[in-house]
Structure 1
């Protein structure tokens, strides 16, 4: 019982019903006051119109034959006029006016009593009806909130959509209502569920891919130790196994560093300062010049002025990943063009054709345009994921598009 009284529906019902009853009581009081103020004059006018006062003075002093010999019993005994004689003169004009006033007062009192009785009865019925309507209206108003509450209660890590099997395709509220505050609340909740679903799905894929990527080098190291060093290996064989273990350890270290950098980028920037991104672009291209020459890829920098408030280490990593991806995922004799300007950074490279449908997926961790071959120098698939995280940390957006001519990819970061 206490829980029902404390519910929002009970509070809204009390509020709505109270306002309706108060409005009804005020309306009843105003109507009663207005009728009371004008009722006497209306009755007096009606009586004097039916029996004009100026004609009373002209009445004869004797009673005409056939007229009643006494006043009607309807006139109260409190009238100060003396009883009319069986024979004799008519009542004086003053007495007649007193009778008229008494009749008007009696009619006014009876009408007001009747009006008050009817008004109170109607007001009581109106109060009962107001409570019922207020309870129904409160339920209608709170229905979307109840749906949102039930949907949120059904959410779980295994069932983020919030719908038991077989009870709905998407687990969204999908409130069918006219535009309003509750409609916007339900739509906002649906949007939040969609974003949560994407985030949880991305985290699950990230965890699975990270486990897979780290399990591979561990398996290689174990196989090299158990098989390659089994028995009495020769010094040359030990050297090869040692070189392989170091190479696998370096790959694992790069993956771990990428994961740590990705996590640090997602946490945001703690300290900002002015960074000349155009200067970083030139330094990055110079640092990767030897690798580009080895792969026979031409790197061209068109650095227009661009200054950003941010972390210089993260911004340098952003540019390094963009240029390194352009160099490594290219073809012999290919080209990488780096442009900076007031709008941001753009890195375009030639290379194998990229399916436009897979381009948005390249910003997810461990996603690659082609299957991994475990070739030396092959990345872990975290490059564009880190670029996207660093861009978001700086309030920027990273987008990519497949080149229609020459293959390859164009990545743009707009600040």
Structure 2
């Protein structure tokens, strides 16, 4: 935005300091002069004695001294104000430099303003915290873009290979190639839809309505019951009515992802998945926990990263696209909620989604 040039803040502060000092000096001299004039005293003798004088003589004797004092105050105010303003505004120079550095693309720079806690220190610390969050977000987006490109390129490369085989080897089983192409394309479509869902949730472009997490949990478990029976996993659903505000479609997708993950990453046989809902003061809970192997503590926080998979996820027939928990996290944050992953001591994991309760 083009703006007309103006005075710098340092010059404005300097003029303000000097002006205030001049006004204060003028008022002080006026008060002294009024007092002396009222008393009729003025120092006129060479020996320094005081004697009564008329008002005209007082003005002739006092006015030059007052002008000299005001001139001194003006120079002192300008020089001192300039130095004081520069010292006071020095932290702003560091903040401005850091802002320009960040605008040029260097998000790793930090102000790290020294000194006691004051307004400038609070501003600098807030700016450093903003840069740290922005740097982490940009790094996450870059990783996401790189992983998404890799995940999308893989099915395309496989499809190209299969087509090349069909073209160069007419005697190859075409039904097998068609089946494999169908599976690869289905995976590519699932990945694309997951990316679109993730983008929609991040932008919060959805209509909020009153929903019941207990009904959503029942619908998700009923939909995934055939998969659970196929893998020998028992589904258990319980809990209270849990009213919330949000997108029913997105919250159903969130619950489906959690239950699906709990079924797939379970014991080889005799596994259990428990889905419960509850109410707290000011919030509602959706908890999904399963049996399974023990998870390392350092692995659990990374499971919500896009395209992050456990050790055996890629080798199953329901491997997914690596965005299940990433979508859960994004949908939770889009609903102003919190997502908590806790490894169970007996094996498996407990995932808790806490959403704000709707107003009465």
- TM-score of the superposition, structure 1-length normalised? 0.77
Aligned-partner SS, 1:302: strand
Aligned-partner SS, 1:175: coil
Aligned-partner SS, 1:137: helix
2:48 is aligned to none
The yes-or-no answer on 1:390 pairing with 2:326 is: no
Q: Distance in 1 between matches of 2:79 and 2:299?
A: 58
The yes-or-no answer on 1:285 pairing with 2:221 is: yes
The yes-or-no answer on 1:214 pairing with 2:215 is: no
1:305 is aligned to 241
In proportion to residue count, which structure has more strand?
2
2:314 is aligned to 373
Per-residue deviation at 1:410? Answer: 1.3
Q: Distance in 2 between matches of 1:391 and 1:39?
A: 84
| Alpha-carbon contact 1:229-1:238 (below 8 Å) kept | no
Q: Deviations over 1:301-336 (max 9, x none)?
A: 112110111111011001111111111111122211
The yes-or-no answer on 1:105 pairing with 2:24 is: no
Q: Distance in 2 between matches of 1:373 and 1:233?
A: 31
Taking a change above 3 Å as real, the CA distance of residues 158 and 354 of structure 1, as seen in their structure-2 partners, is farther
Structure 1 portions without partners, runs of 5+: 44-73, 75-102, 162-170
List aligned pairs for 1:261-340, cutoff 5 A. Answer: 261-331=197-267, 332-340=269-277
2:86 is aligned to 139
Aligned-partner SS, 1:308: strand
| Alpha-carbon contact 1:322-1:387 (below 8 Å) kept | yes
RMSD, matched Cα: 2.2
| Alpha-carbon contact 1:32-1:116 (below 8 Å) kept | no
Per-residue deviation at 1:131? Answer: 0.8
The yes-or-no answer on 1:407 pairing with 2:347 is: yes
The answer to which of 310-319 and 122-131 deviates more is 122-131
Per-residue deviation at 1:266? Answer: 0.6
List aligned pairs for 1:3-22, cutoff 5 A. Answer: 6-22=7-23
Per-residue deviation at 1:15? Answer: 1.8
The yes-or-no answer on 1:37 pairing with 2:38 is: yes
Q: Distance in 2 between matches of 1:382 and 1:112?
A: 89
Residue-pair matches, total:
341
The answer to which of 265-274 and 207-216 deviates more is 265-274
2:162 is aligned to 224
Aligned-partner SS, 1:178: coil
| Alpha-carbon contact 2:37-2:58 (below 8 Å) kept | no
1:253 is aligned to 189
Per-residue deviation at 1:110? Answer: 5.4
Q: Distance in 1 between matches of 2:286 and 2:255?
A: 8
Q: Deviations over 1:341-385 (max 9, x none)?
A: 113111111222222122222222111232653542201111111
Q: Distance in 1 between matches of 2:64 and 2:319?
A: 94
Which of the numbers 147, 159, 165 marks the counterpart of 2:106? 159
Aligned-partner SS, 1:243: helix
List aligned pairs for 1:181-200, cutoff 5 A. Answer: 181-200=119-138
Taking a change above 3 Å as real, the CA distance of residues 104 and 22 of structure 1, as seen in their structure-2 partners, is closer
Aligned-partner SS, 1:244: helix
Taking a change above 3 Å as real, the CA distance of residues 306 and 28 of structure 1, as seen in their structure-2 partners, is same
**Bigger radius of gyration among the two:** 1
The answer to which of 244-253 and 137-146 deviates more is 137-146
Per-residue deviation at 1:226? Answer: 1.1
Q: Distance in 1 between matches of 2:164 and 2:107?
A: 43
Q: Distance in 2 between matches of 1:189 and 1:227?
A: 57
1:53 is aligned to none
| Alpha-carbon contact 2:40-2:53 (below 8 Å) kept | no
Q: Deviations over 1:31-90 (max 9, x none)?
A: 2212222344x99xxxxxxxxxxxxxxxxxxxxxxxxxxxxxx9xxxxxxxxxxxxxxxx
Q: Distance in 1 between matches of 2:314 and 2:39?
A: 101
Per-residue deviation at 1:251? Answer: 0.7
Which of the numbers 258, 273, 278 marks the counterpart of 1:341? 278
The answer to which of 137-146 and 324-333 deviates more is 137-146
